[in-house]
Amino acid sequence: MSWRHPQITAAVGRALREDIGAGDITTQACVPADTRHAAMFLARQPLVLAGVELLAPIYDALGGVDRLELACRSGEEVESDAVVARVEGRTRVLLTAERTALNFLQRLSGVATLARRFARAVEGTGCQVLDTRKTTPGLRMLEKLAVAAGGATNHRFGLFDAILIKNNHIAAAGGVGAAIERARAAGKPVELEVRDEAELEEALSCGADHLLLDNFSVQQVRQAVARIDGRARIEVSGGITLENVRAYAETGANFVSAGAITHSAPAVDLSFRLCSTPPL
């Protein structure tokens, strides 16, 4: 993955078209075409930065700027009032790009900041925090890059790269055994969701090697880890919060997945400030 991936470039283009439409009529009415300014992006709270690399393609799509300096990179922790980027160029370009740039930075840095909190919460346990597919439609790659910047681990990118058999698949296939047997023929990694002890026993008897324990209590996970006894990798999901993630990680599970990292991350506070007219 890269901040310059074609999917991301396309997302930037969609965001700009959505905001600008037929034109930025306020800026065009108020600001002479030949005006130039310097400006900066400021963190207004402590945060983990993500998405600052998008500033270049955003400005390029509007004709470019004279100078763009990234003072920080994605994954860096910055304090309140820190300058994360500086830019100089045509004032109309700076103002027209402002909201799109801030929307990306605030959303993605929010995801990275929450991901860092989850990752720190399990330090020393040997358990990895995974993200999920509970992402904003059309922005999955961006949000997963933000998760990685925050220090958590990307799980599946889509339905195409790994098999995760969930309760509805089991029902449609006619049972755990039938679902596993058919899935193995696809030649992809297979993970199976289990919701209770009976499904766990059936999964183990069928030789499942990656189990997702869904909505198990901490004590139930401990018991399941002992029962599995190293025969399968164990992922825990459902109801994972910052308050309980370490308790789950300390059960001996290999992974804890938390959809909240992407679907419930609050946007952080960054601002854009015009500074002066740059020298000619």
- pLDDT tens for 241-270 read 999 999 999 999 999 999 999 999 999 999
- What percentage of the chain reaches a pLDDT higher than 90? 84
| Per annotation, catalytic residue among 24, 98, 199, 214 | 214
| Per annotation, catalytic residue among 86, 134, 222, 233 | 134
Residue 278 has pLDDT above 80, yes or no: no
Q: Which residues sit opposite 236 in a β-bridge?
A: 213, 256
pLDDT at 209 (0 to 100): 87
Q: How far apart are CA 249 and CA 126, in angstroms?
A: 8
Region 152-181 average pLDDT: 91
Closest CA to 51 of 132, 153, 147: 147
Region 45-51 average pLDDT: 98
Q: Please, what's the b/e burial string for 235-261 (b: 16 or more CB within 10 A of its CB; e: otherwise)?
A: bbbeebeeeebbbbbbbbbbbbbbbbb
| Per annotation, catalytic residue among 166, 182, 195, 222 | 166
Whether residue 102 contacts residue 270, with contact meaning beta carbons closer than 8 Å, is answered with yes
Residue 184 has pLDDT above 70, yes or no: yes
Output 145 or 276, whichever has higher pLDDT. Answer: 145
Residue 173 has pLDDT above 70, yes or no: yes
- Its CATH architecture, for the domain 153-257, is Alpha-Beta Barrel (3.20)
Region 90-116 average pLDDT: 98
Question: What crossing angle do the helices spanning 140-150 and 6-20 adopt, rounded to 10°?
Answer: 110
| Per annotation, catalytic residue among 53, 98, 131, 193 | 193
Tell me if residue 99 is catalytic. Answer: yes
- Its CATH architecture, for the domain 6-118+266-276, is Alpha-Beta Complex (3.90)
Region 113-119 average pLDDT: 98
Residue 25 has pLDDT above 90, yes or no: yes
pLDDT at 225 (0 to 100): 97
Tell me if residue 214 is catalytic. Answer: yes
Tell me if residue 193 is catalytic. Answer: yes
| Per annotation, catalytic residue among 86, 99, 182, 184 | 99
Residue type, 64: G
Which residue in the block uniquely carries the two structure tokens 């860096």? Answer: 76
Whether residue 73 contacts residue 130, with contact meaning beta carbons closer than 8 Å, is answered with no
pTM confidence score: 0.95
pLDDT at 95 (0 to 100): 98
pLDDT at 258 (0 to 100): 98
Output 209 or 76, whichever has higher pLDDT. Answer: 76
Output 278 or 208, whichever has higher pLDDT. Answer: 208
Domain regions of the chain by residue span: 6-118+266-276, 153-257
* H-type alpha helices, the chain: 6-20, 25-30, 55-61, 91-121, 140-150, 167-173, 176-184, 197-205, 218-228, 245-249, 260-263
Region 96-108 average pLDDT: 98
pLDDT at 83 (0 to 100): 98
Give 63-86 as a 3 state SS string. Answer: CCCCEEEECCCCCCEECCCCEEEE
Residue 280 has pLDDT above 60, yes or no: no
Q: How far apart are CA 173 and CA 183, in angstroms?
A: 10
| pLDDT band of 279, cuts 50, 70, 90 | low
Output 174 or 98, whichever has higher pLDDT. Answer: 98
